[in-house]
């Protein structure tokens, strides 16, 4: 009861300041968003733009005592269109900083990097045929295998990417996270573009060195020195039936809040040849994933908009059952995921539901997760509060459900 009362108090403290009149001292307050942009020529076609955002969490977990506060994300992104043919982008920040991984003196830190900023993206791009074919290279986010694998963290419909932490496969749309990449980013070469309403993104990447323990089951044995498992390949393809979505940047929108009518059908893959070794370094197996998804986001009328997404994921880590990748997707298998939200536009409220079922080879039972949440849009995605409750069960026999309540405040400029 104490935790519940405290959570209610926090919610009221966060929401009440925004529930009053939109005037201060008798004057209209301008809440409109003005991009942080520096024009480099008179017509603004050459520019430098900055984006920064914070997402703060307050969390109660049925497996832990007390409330936990954390900085889920703190990021800065800058990109420059220095000519119609060239684009450069840099993105840095930190993730999931809580009391358990704060560092007393970051200058002397050696083992824990969560309290330090790190590079998320750094790439440069050249337009061979503007709009149709762009080639880029660097540390990038032009990912397979699905829409959610390329999702922006600025405008999610849900509080966070699926897989909140109470089922077996955490953050599963980022299918290779912590195995061959740097936090869902690969170092490589990509091609992207659109042909009418069809868009594509393809990438060939150097895999991160990742050497596991040899044994009877497959383990990662990626070694850039020897060249073992050196390259992996990814792609995502989609067709927009109604409004065309932008592909200037890789970050796909979670919800347009009724401002567009989008029906997108997509499919993607990730293939990492010879990434795994079985028993000895000579016997090699490959990692191959694919996914399919459908995304719908549209106004119903002037008062209501709807958002829905359904996806199927299939993960394959070699041919041996029971493989544990050491990452957040722990095993071969398949996952079905769905989410739906309804925006009440005049009230700026969006309740939503999520569900996924995880059929993984490493567990005797299916793992599943259900959640419901509520977005309160103070100023669209630029300032919002989200409350979410999730309940999930792992696939071990007799596993008990884990319940998590999270409250997030989100601001980006």
pLDDT of residue 207: 96
Q: Round to whole Å and give the CA distance between 109 and 206.
A: 28
158, 127 in Cβ contact below 8 A? no
Q: Pairing between strand 118-129 and 86-98?
A: antiparallel
What are the residue ranges spanned by the domains of the chain? 35-100+118-412
- According to CATH, what is the number of the domain 35-100+118-412? 2.40.160.10
pLDDT of residue 16: 52
Q: Round to whole Å and give the CA distance between 58 and 70.
A: 7
- Rounded-to-10 torsion of CA 141, 145, 150, 151: -150
For residue 14, count other CB atoms closer than 10 A to its CB: 18
pLDDT of residue 1: 46
The residues, any chain, with a CB within 8 Å of residue 41's CB and separated by 6 or more, are none
Token couple for 222: 């990626």
Assign 249 to helix, strand or coil. Answer: coil
Length of the chain: 413
In tens digits, the chain (413 residues) has pLDDT values of 455 545 554 555 455 544 444 444 545 677 677 889 999 998 888 999 999 999 999 999 998 888 999 999 999 999 999 888 999 999 999 999 998 888 777 666 555 556 778 999 999 999 999 999 999 999 999 999 999 999 999 999 999 999 888 899 989 999 888 889 998 999 999 999 999 999 999 999 999 999 988 887 788 999 988 899 999 999 999 999 999 999 999 999 999 999 999 999 999 999 999 999 988 888 899 999 999 999 999 999 999 999 999 999 999 998 876 676 666 788 899 999 999 999 999 999 999 999 999 999 989 999 999 999 999 999 999 999 999 999 999 999 999 999 999 999 999 99
pLDDT of residue 110: 58
Whole-structure pTM value: 0.91
């Amino acid at each position: 009861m104490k935790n519940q009362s405290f959570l209610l108090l926090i919610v009221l403290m966060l929401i009440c300041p925004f529930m009053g009149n939109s005037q201060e001292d008798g004057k209209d307050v301008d809440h409109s968003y003005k991009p942080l942009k520096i024009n480099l020529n008179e017509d603004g076609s050459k520019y430098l733009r900055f984006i920064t955002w914070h997402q703060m969490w307050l969390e109660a977990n049925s497996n832990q005592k007390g409330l936990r506060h954390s900085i889920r994300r703190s990021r800065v992104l800058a990109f420059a269109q220095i000519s119609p043919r060239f684009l450069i982008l840099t993105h840095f920040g930190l993730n999931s900083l809580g009391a358990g991984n704060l560092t007393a003196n970051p200058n002397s830190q050696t083992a824990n990097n969560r309290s330090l900023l790190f590079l998320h993206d750094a790439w440069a791009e050249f337009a061979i045929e503007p709009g149709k074919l762009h080639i880029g290279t660097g540390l990038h986010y032009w990912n397979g295998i699905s829409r959610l694998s390329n999702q922006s963290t600025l405008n999610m419909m849900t509080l966070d990417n699926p897989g909140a932490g109470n089922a077996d496969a955490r953050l599963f749309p980022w299918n290779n996270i912590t195995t061959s990449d740097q936090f869902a980013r690969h170092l490589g070469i990509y091609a992207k573009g659109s042909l009418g309403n069809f868009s594509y993104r393809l990438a060939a990447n150097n895999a991160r060195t990742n050497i596991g323990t040899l044994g009877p089951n497959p383990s990662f044995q990626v070694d850039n020195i020897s060249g073992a498992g050196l390259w992996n390949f990814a792609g995502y393809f989609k067709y927009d039936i109604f409004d065309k979505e932008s592909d200037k940047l890789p970050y796909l929108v979670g919800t347009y809040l009724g401002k567009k009518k989008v029906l997108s059908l997509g499919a993607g893959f990730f293939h990492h040849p010879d990434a795994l070794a079985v028993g000895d370094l000579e016997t090699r197996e490959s990692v191959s994933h694919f996914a399919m998804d459908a995304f719908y986001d549209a106004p119903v009328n002037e008062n209501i908009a709807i958002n829905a997404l359904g996806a199927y994921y299939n993960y394959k880590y070699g041919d041996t059952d029971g493989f544990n990748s050491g990452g957040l997707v722990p095993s071969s298998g398949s996952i079905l995921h769905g989410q739906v939200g309804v925006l009440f536009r005049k009230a700026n409220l969006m309740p939503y539901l999520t569900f996924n079922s995880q059929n993984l080879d490493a567990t005797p039972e299916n793992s599943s997760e259900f959640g419901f949440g509520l977005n309160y849009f103070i100023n669209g995605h630029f300032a919002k509060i989200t409350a979410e409750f999730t309940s999930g069960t792992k696939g071990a026999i007799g596993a008990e459900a884990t319940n998590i309540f999270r409250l997030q405040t989100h601001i980006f400029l």
